[in-house]
A = this chain, B = another copy of it.
């Protein structure tokens, strides 16, 4: 019985890792749509979101049925509840990728990001992608060092976010109002992605140690 139960818990983790991979590809495609003007990539992100939403529903119903049938307690219950919330964070990252892809598509064939903002936005996209790779590792291994590294990667993201706003609002900005608004929203989408990745790392940390990380 315990063996079947462990299998169910492991299956939930495996589903979350698979969902992370789907979300990571979606965000990478959204960034390609944004930075390379790849319309096909934008369309794939937008139409593929239903698959991510369905994966969340599936993780959630597995978690609920596990709670209802196995009545887990202590560490096991923490693990299942963390899984429920992690699936929610991953779905939100998928939604943010859709926002990025839609904004990119709306401006095509023009780039949504003017040259002056491009390096910082590209860096935000790179950091966000790296954070999602780390999320997959953290979920797959429950490695606390990887979780802690993720928390500090978010400092980099927050720094880029501040840099972006500083530039947008500085005297040297010549991109005009529309591009400024676009870039502000894009910066926010990437920064929110980082927040959700951090939230997942914190939940794994709590799930493993029973303590809230101090970072």
Contacts and interface: CB of A to CB of B under 8 A. Distances in A.
Interface stretch (A24-32, A67-75, A117-125, A127-135): A67-75
A78 to B, nearest CB: 10
A64 interface: yes
Given A169-B181, A185-B184, A67 B64 contact: yes
A178 B7 CA distance: 53
Contacts of A181: 165, 168-169, 180-181, 184
Contact of A185 (B176, B177, B188): B188
B64 A68 contact: no
A64 B71 CA distance: 10
Q: How many copies does the complex hold?
A: 2
Interface in A66-88: 67-69, 71-73, 77, 81, 84-85, 88
A173 interface: yes
A184 B185 CA distance: 8
Interface in A18-73: 60, 64, 67-69, 71-73
Contact of A177 (B71, B88, B177): B177
A177 B173 contact: yes
A58 B106 CA distance: 42
A23 to B, nearest CB: 18
For the complex of A and B, the 5 pairs showing the least CB-CB separation, nearest first, are A181-B184, A177-B180, A67-B67, A68-B71, A169-B178
27 contacts: A60-B81, A64-B67, A64-B77, A64-B81, A67-B68, A68-B68, A68-B73, A68-B77, A84-B84, A85-B88, A168-B177, A168-B181, A169-B177, A169-B178, A169-B181, A173-B177, A176-B177, A177-B177, A177-B180, A180-B180, A180-B181, A181-B184, A184-B184, A184-B185, A185-B185, A185-B188, A188-B188
Given A180-B181, A185-B185, 17 more contacts: A67-B67, A68-B68, A68-B77, A69-B71, A84-B84, A85-B88, A88-B88, A168-B177, A169-B178, A173-B177, A176-B177, A177-B177, A177-B180, A181-B184, A184-B185, A185-B188, A188-B188
